[in-house]
C-alpha cells in the first residue's frame, strides 16, 4: 500500500512508446517515483524500461497478468498497452488494489468505460487518465482565461485537430489504430483528447451530438497506377508520393521510426529497408486494411445552450480553437503560433486585442505542449492527495468526454442525432 510520504512504486503494463516516455520523465524524480517492474511480450521493450528505471531490483515480466499476479503491490500501475487491452489490464490492476495511470482511451466500449468507473468508485482506488493536454501550458492558459470571465458567457466553441498527413498514414493507415475493429474509431483513439478538452473548457455536460465523416483518400481506388503492395517493391510513383515508406530511412526516421521499430537507434539503412519489406509500415498507404476515417466533423449541444463544433482532418497539422463569448473571442493554436507569433489572441468585442504566449516546462508546444511532463508531475499529487480530493484527470472527470466520442461515432455511422444521456442509460442497462 501507498506510503504516506516517499516515492511511489510504479509498475508498467506495456513497455512501448508511451511507457518509455512517461518512465523517462518519472525516472528524473527518484524522490517521487521508483519504477519497480515492467511487463511486455517484447522483451527488448521491458529491457528499455528496466534501463530507464536504473534499479537493480527491477522485475521483468512477459505479460501484464503475470505482473499483477506476482504480489508486488505497486502503488501505481501504468497501463500503456493498446486501446483494446486497457479495460482488462485496468480492471486487473484495480482488483490487485493498485491505483492506475491509464493511457487513453479509458476503454473501447461504453460498457467497459462505465465498468472501470464503477470499479474505481467501489474499490476507492484512483484512476488517472493520460489526458496530457490538460497539463499542457497552452490549454491551461486557455482554461485560465475562460475561467477568469474575460469572455463573458460562453456561447460557442470551435475546435480543430489537424492530424497531419504523415501521422495519419503512420498511425491510422499503416499503424496501430488503422483498423477500428481491433482498436477504436478515430474519434475515440485520437480525438478523445479533443473531446476531453472541449468538455473541460465548456465546464458542463454535452446533451446531443451529430457527426459526419468518412475515409476517402487512403483507399485502393486512389492508388497510383502500377503501385505495388509495398513501397520497397519499386513503385513507379515513389518520387512524388508523400507517403513513400522509404522516408523512414531519411527525413521521417528520427521522429517516427523509434515509435514502431525497437532497433531504430542502432539500425543502418539496409536493416530498416529489410524491416519495411515485411512490416505494416512498409505497405502502400492505398493498399492497407484500414478503415479509420480521414475526416470527421461534429456538431455539439451542451447544457445551457452552449454549442460546439469539432473538425478532425488528416490534411492539416496541429490543433487550434476559437471560443466565442458575450464579451469577446479567444483564438489560438498551432496556426496562430506559426502565422501570428502568439499562441493565443483575445479579441474583446470592444477594445484592443490581447496576445498571449505560453512556455511549457519541456519547451515544446508541439509535443503535447509540455503535457507529458506536466502529467508525470501531476501524477504524484493525484495519487497522494487526501481521499475525496477531485483529481484533475481522474476517471470521474473524463468518462463524459468518452461518451461524447462514442455518441459521435454512433451518429456518424447511423446518420442520427444522438442524445448522450439516453445512450448512457441504454448502454449501462445492457452491461
Ligand X SMILES: NC(=O)c1ccc[n+]([C@@H]2O[C@H](COP(=O)([O-])OP(=O)(O)OC[C@H]3O[C@@H](n4cnc5c(N)ncnc54)[C@H](O)[C@@H]3O)[C@@H](O)[C@H]2O)c1
List residues near ligand X by CB under 6 A: 13-18, 39-42, 45, 63-64, 80-83, 85, 103-104, 130, 132, 176, 189, 368
CB 185, min distance to ligand X, A:
12
Residues forming a β-bridge with 419: 208
The count of other CB atoms within 10 Å of the CB of residue 268 is 10
Smaller CB separation from ligand X, 85 or 301? 85
Smaller CB separation from ligand X, 131 or 346? 131
Smaller CB separation from ligand X, 41 or 236? 41
CB 415, min distance to ligand X, A:
27
Asked if 284 and 232 touch (Cβ cutoff 8 Å), the reply is no
The count of other CB atoms within 10 Å of the CB of residue 50 is 20
Q: Which residues contact 259 (CB under 8 A, 6 or more apart)?
A: 17, 170
CB 170, min distance to ligand X, A:
11
Q: Which three cell numbers stand for residue 299?
A: 456538431
Residues forming a β-bridge with 331: 322, 345
CB 64, min distance to ligand X, A:
3
Q: Which residues contact 82 (CB under 8 A, 6 or more apart)?
A: 14, 176, 183
Residues forming a β-bridge with 213: 296
What length is written for the chain? 431
CB 179, min distance to ligand X, A:
14
Using CA atoms, how far apart are residues 273 and 234, in angstroms rounded to an integer? Answer: 12
Smaller CB separation from ligand X, 228 or 394? 394
CB 15, min distance to ligand X, A:
6
Residue 381: half-sphere exposure toward Cβ, Cα within 13 Å = 11
Asked if 207 and 420 touch (Cβ cutoff 8 Å), the reply is yes
The count of other CB atoms within 10 Å of the CB of residue 126 is 22
CB 188, min distance to ligand X, A:
9
Smaller CB separation from ligand X, 84 or 156? 84
Amino acid at each position: 500500500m501507498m506510503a504516506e510520504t516517499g516515492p511511489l512504486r510504479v509498475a508498467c503494463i506495456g513497455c512501448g512508446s508511451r511507457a518509455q516516455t512517461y518512465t523517462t520523465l518519472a525516472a528524473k524524480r527518484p524522490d517521487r517515483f521508483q519504477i519497480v517492474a515492467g511487463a511486455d511480450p517484447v522483451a527488448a521493450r521491458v529491457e528499455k524500461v528496466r534501463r530507464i528505471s536504473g534499479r537493480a531490483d527491477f522485475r521483468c515480466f512477459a505479460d501484464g497478468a503475470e505482473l499483477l499476479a506476482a504480489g508486488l503491490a505497486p502503488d501505481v500501475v501504468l497501463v500503456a498497452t493498446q486501446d483494446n487491452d486497457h479495460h482488462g489490464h485496468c480492471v486487473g490492476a484495480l482488483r490487485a488494489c493498485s491505483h492506475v495511470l491509464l493511457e487513453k482511451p479509458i476503454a473501447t466500449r461504453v460498457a467497459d468505460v462505465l465498468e472501470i468507473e464503477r470499479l474505481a468508485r467501489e474499490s476507492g482506488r484512483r484512476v488517472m487518465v493520460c489526458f496530457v493536454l490538460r497539463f499542457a501550458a497552452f490549454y491551461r492558459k486557455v482554461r485560465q482565461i475562460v475561467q477568469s470571465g474575460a469572455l463573458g458567457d460562453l456561447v460557442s466553441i470551435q475546435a480543430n485537430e489537424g492530424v497531419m498527413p504523415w501521422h495519419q498514414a503512420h498511425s491510422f493507415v499503416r499503424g496501430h489504430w488503422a483498423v477500428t475493429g481491433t482498436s477504436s474509431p478515430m474519434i475515440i483513439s485520437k480525438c478523445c483528447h479533443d473531446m476531453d478538452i472541449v468538455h473541460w473548457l465548456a465546464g458542463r455536460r454535452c446533451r446531443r451530438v451529430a457527426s459526419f465523416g468518412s475515409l476517402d483518400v487512403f483507399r485502393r481506388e486512389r492508388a497510383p497506377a502500377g503501385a505495388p503492395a509495398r513501397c520497397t517493391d519499386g513503385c513507379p510513383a515513389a518520387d512524388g508520393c508523400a507517403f513513400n515508406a522509404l522516408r523512414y530511412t531519411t527525413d521521417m526516421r528520427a521522429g517516427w521510426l523509434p515509435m514502431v521499430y525497437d532497433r531504430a537507434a542502432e539500425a543502418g539503412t539496409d536493416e530498416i529497408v529489410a524491416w519495411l519489406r515485411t512490416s505494416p509500415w512498409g505497405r502502400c498507404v492505398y493498399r492497407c486494411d484500414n478503415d479509420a476515417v480521414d475526416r470527421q466533423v461534429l456538431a455539439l449541444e451542451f447544457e445551457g445552450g452552449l454549442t460546439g463544433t469539432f473538425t478532425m482532418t488528416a490534411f492539416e497539422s496541429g490543433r487550434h480553437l476559437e471560443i466565442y463569448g458575450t464579451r469577446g473571442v479567444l483564438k489560438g493554436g498551432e496556426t496562430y503560433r506559426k502565422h501570428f507569433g502568439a499562441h493565443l489572441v483575445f479579441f474583446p468585442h470592444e477594445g484592443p486585442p490581447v496576445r498571449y504566449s505560453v512556455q511549457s516546462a519541456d519547451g515544446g508546444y508541439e509535443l503535447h505542449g509540455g503535457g507529458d511532463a506536466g502529467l508525470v508531475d501531476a501524477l504524484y499529487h493525484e495519487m497522494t492527495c487526501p481521499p475525496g480530493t477531485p483529481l484533475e484527470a481522474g476517471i470521474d472527470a473524463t468518462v463524459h468526454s468518452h461518451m461524447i466520442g462514442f455518441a459521435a461515432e454512433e451518429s456518424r455511422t447511423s446518420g442520427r442525432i444522438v442524445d448522450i444521456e439516453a445512450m448512457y442509460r441504454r448502454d449501462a442497462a445492457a452491461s
